[in-house]
Structures are given as structure tokens and as C-alpha cells.
Amino acid sequence: MNNLLRDEAVIVLLELESQGFEAVIVGGYVRDQMLNKPSYDIDIATSAKPEEVMAVFPRTAPTGLQHGTVTVIRDRLTFEVTTYRKESVYEQHRRPASVVFVSDLHEDLRRRDFTMNAMALDARGKLIDPWGGLADLKAGKLRCVGDADARFQEDALRMLRCVRFAASYALDISPETWEALLRHHGLLEHIARERVRVELEKTLEGPQPERGSALLVESGLLSHVKGGIPLEPLFACALRREGEARAGTIESLETDERTCLPAHADKPEAAGADLSTPLAQLTPAPLRWAYLLLLQGSTQAEANTLLRALTFSNEKAGQVSGVLGVREWLQQQGCGRAAWLRCALRFGSEPLLGWLRVAGLHPAAAAGALYTRDPQGLAALLAAGERWLRELPVRALSDLQLGGAELIRVLGRPGGPWVSRVLARLLEDAALGIVPNEQEALLDRAAQYGKEIDLP
């Protein structure tokens, strides 16, 4: 795919050149090529104006004409082609008041955030690098283009991008860039929470989430997120050193009866676990948020409040907070097999599997009071919980061999709230193996419940 993508991009460059325009590949693709990392999209910059780009190619879409951007469509591939430009004074520390098209590539590269993002490749593979981006990458350095104070004052979101890039690419932030970030971190209050959330997600979900978290805390940026969301204590939870991390791990669940422990629990390293950097081991990404919230001791309600304030989608917020819901359920109901299976019926399997992954790294955080109250029960749950879920015979009412209509018909009663109550009890009984999931057995059980429940 990478070769096809680049070959098609080069055709776009050559088409523009054939009409007398300059055109180059810019942005993340160039940076990632220099680092031998894969890239999955290519942005193109050109001296051609938007209307000139549309005149060159038969299939285009005017995706951002006010910013000079046209999407060129080639078969199933698309390329954003943007006119060289310079920008005026920025408004509210986020976006330029106006854009001026220019014909000079160097002028276009001058406006970019960091030197590693201010490089370009022409159609013949020649690197254009007026700001020393390649030298900075080779030196492992992240540096602003030109005046770092000006770059961060123009667009305060660049400070979060700075942290993300430093963590994701294992770069050291240059002293002048870091000092400028510290001087201007208060400007982050001008940035919409949605934009902040996107950057925090990319940082926490990247390859070095602990380092990103450390930079976020050290920079003081998190204290200036709009709305006063308490993020700094949350991200500080990622900074536990190896000894602190091990203190809450499954190693400390040792008892006289070690047969209840998972097969690899007494030697986490044997399972590929590096407990000094647990965040990087957790996938999918929502589990990293859940891990920090569990370490912080947040309730499910508190987690939902924070995630809503950060504009998470309902789906992703549910994936995160569901794991905390599992902890609360287990603290109330205990960690035996029956409580675990009832929890599965309540939340579904995914939050439970997520909880198991977090608990495998830090059971003290995942289990809360259960960690000291019932260490053997907790160890048994960690050892068998996934198997218990696999063996669950029914997971939802749709799995039952008895529906509401049959229940009403056989019992000869008019419908009402009693139907859902009886079906819920039948589902639990079938899940726990108290009654087989067979219609006749379920009807017999339902008849017993019918005598206990106030039927109409």
C-alpha cells in the first residue's frame, strides 16, 4: 500500500509540474519516511491556486477552498492538495484570521509547527529541508520552527502536540522549545475541550503513554484545560515507578495455597509483562483510561463526569466507565463465580474482559477493597474469570429457549411487568446452571416463580 500510495502521489506531482506548477509532498509522510515508519496518507502542497488544481485533474472535491485545499481523487486513493500559503495574525491563540496564497515553498514551510514537520519531498525524491528537520530527527530533538514563543502564541494546541510528538517519537524537546512551552502553558485555556481531548487520546494511546503523561504533568498544561477538569492527578497516576507498580500487582497476592493463582501470576515477566510501564501493555485504548481512573480510585459516576467533560463519545465513555462499574459490582457482590456471572449479565462480557486485563497488571487498583478483603477469591477470579465467561451458556434474554409470548400463553396470564421479572430470573438461573436452557425446564421454573411473584 505504501508504494502504491507514493507512486500515485508522484503522478499527482508530475501532473501539476507538467502544467507549470511546483508541487511537493509535505507533512507527516515526509517525517515518517525519514524515520522509516509506515504512513497511510500523503498531503501535497503546490504553487497552483485551488481553481488551477481543479482544472488540472478531472476528479476533485473542494474540501477546504478557504484554506486552499482541494481533494484530488485517483481511483480509490485521495490526496489533499493545498496551495502554498502564509498566515496572518492568529485569533484566540488557535487559528489565523486570514490565509494568503504564496508561490514560495519556503514561505509555506516557515508557518509550520516543528522542524520535523517542515520538510518536503519533490517528485524525484529530493528532500527540501530549510529548517533542519532531518538533522533534528537524527539528533533525537523536537524543535519549533523559528521562534518557539511565537509558534505557541499563534496556536496553543501546538503545546499538546509538542508533548505528543516527543512521547510518540522518543524525542527530547529542545530547551528553548520547552522553556517557551512553560512560559505559555496558560494559553491552553483558549483551546476547545474537544481539541484537547483528541490530543490527550493520541498521547495516552501512543507507544509511550507513560512518557507522554510525565511531560503533561511536568509542563503544567493539564492545569489549564478549559473548565477546570481535574486531569493532572489522573495523569500523575501513570508515573508510578517500578517498585510502586509491583506493590499492587498479583505478586503480592501470594498465599499458602498458590494453586488458585493464574499460571503466570507468580512470574509476570514470563507473560511478557513489564510492570514498570503497564499502560503500554493495555489494549484496546479505552483500557488505558480505565487503568488510570481505577488507580485514582474514581467511581463509575466520577469517571462518567470527567469523560463527558472531555467530550468523549457515549460509546467510548461507556467502554471506559464500564470497567469501573465491574469493580463496584465486585466490591458489593464479592468475587465468586456466581457474582462474576451475574456481573456479565449486567454489563456484558467486554467490560469484564477489560477489567481482567487491568487486574492482571494491578489487581489492587482493579479490585479495590477486595484486594485485602478476599485475596484468595480475587486470585481465583483472575485465574478462572475468562474461562467462566467462555463457559457461560446464556448471555442475554435472546439466548433463552423461552420468550415472553410463550410464557404468557403457557401460564395463561395477561402480560405485564411480571414477564420481564420472571425472564430476568430465568436468565440468571440458566447462566448459573441452576436450570438447563430448555423450554420445558424453564417453564417449570417459571411456574414456581409465578407463585412467588404477584401476578395479575
Q: pLDDT tens digit string along 411-455? A: 888 888 889 989 999 999 999 999 999 999 999 999 888 777 655
CB neighbourhood size of 295 (10 A): 22
pLDDT of residue 89: 64
The number of residues making up the chain comes to: 456
pLDDT of residue 4: 86
Show the cell assigned to 222: 493539564
* CATH fold match for the domains 2-139 and 397-452: no
Query: What is the rounded radius of gyration, in angstroms, for the C-alpha atoms of the chain?
Result: 28
Show the cell assigned to 23: 508541487
Q: What is the DSSP string of 166-194?
A: HHHTT-EEPHHHHHHHHHHGGGGGGS-HH
Interacting residues of 182 by C-beta distance below 8 A, sequence separation 6+: 219, 220
Q: Which fold has domain 2-139?
A: Beta Polymerase; domain 2 (3.30.460)
Q: What is the DSSP string of 208-251?
A: -HHHHHHHHHHHTGGGGSTT----HHHHHGGG--HHHHHHTSGG
Show the cell assigned to 355: 477489567
Q: Which of 102, 139, 103, 136 lies closest to 117 in space, CA to CA?
A: 136
pLDDT of residue 67: 85
Which stretch of DSSP H or E encloses residue 139? none
Is residue 78 packed enough to be buried (19+ CB in 10 Å), middle (13-18) or exposed (0-12)? middle
pLDDT of residue 95: 67
Of the candidate CATH numbers 2.60.40, 1.25.40, 2.30.30, 1.10.246, the domain formed by 397-452 belongs to 1.10.246
Show the cell assigned to 221: 498544561
As beta bridge partners, residue 101 has: 85
DSSP 3-state assignment of 142? strand
Chain CA centroid to CA 127, Å: 33
Please give the angle made by the CA atoms of 323, 327 and 329, to the nearest 5 degrees. Answer: 110
* Positions of the chain with pLDDT lower than 70, given as ranges: 1-2, 88-98, 240-277, 453-456
**Residues 59 and 73: beta-carbon distance below 8 Å:** yes
pTM listed for this prediction: 0.85
Pair type for strands 85-87 and 141-142: unpaired
Calculate the alpha carbon distances from 82 to 24, 53, 71, 429 in Å: 10, 9, 9, 63
pLDDT of residue 255: 36
pLDDT of residue 148: 97
Is residue 15 packed enough to be buried (19+ CB in 10 Å), middle (13-18) or exposed (0-12)? middle
Domain boundaries, the chain: 2-139, 141-239, 251-287+306-392, 397-452
**Residues 188 and 223: beta-carbon distance below 8 Å:** no
Report the C-alpha gap between 261 and 254 in whole angstroms. Answer: 8
On the question of a cis peptide bond just before residue 284, with omega within 30 degrees of 0, the verdict is yes
Pair type for strands 141-142 and 172-173: parallel
pLDDT of residue 275: 37
Give CATH for domain 141-239. 1.10.110.30
Calculate the alpha carbon distances from 3 to 9, 13, 127, 412 in Å: 10, 15, 18, 69
Report the C-alpha gap between 77 and 378 in whole angstroms. Answer: 51
Residue owning grid cell 493463582: 261
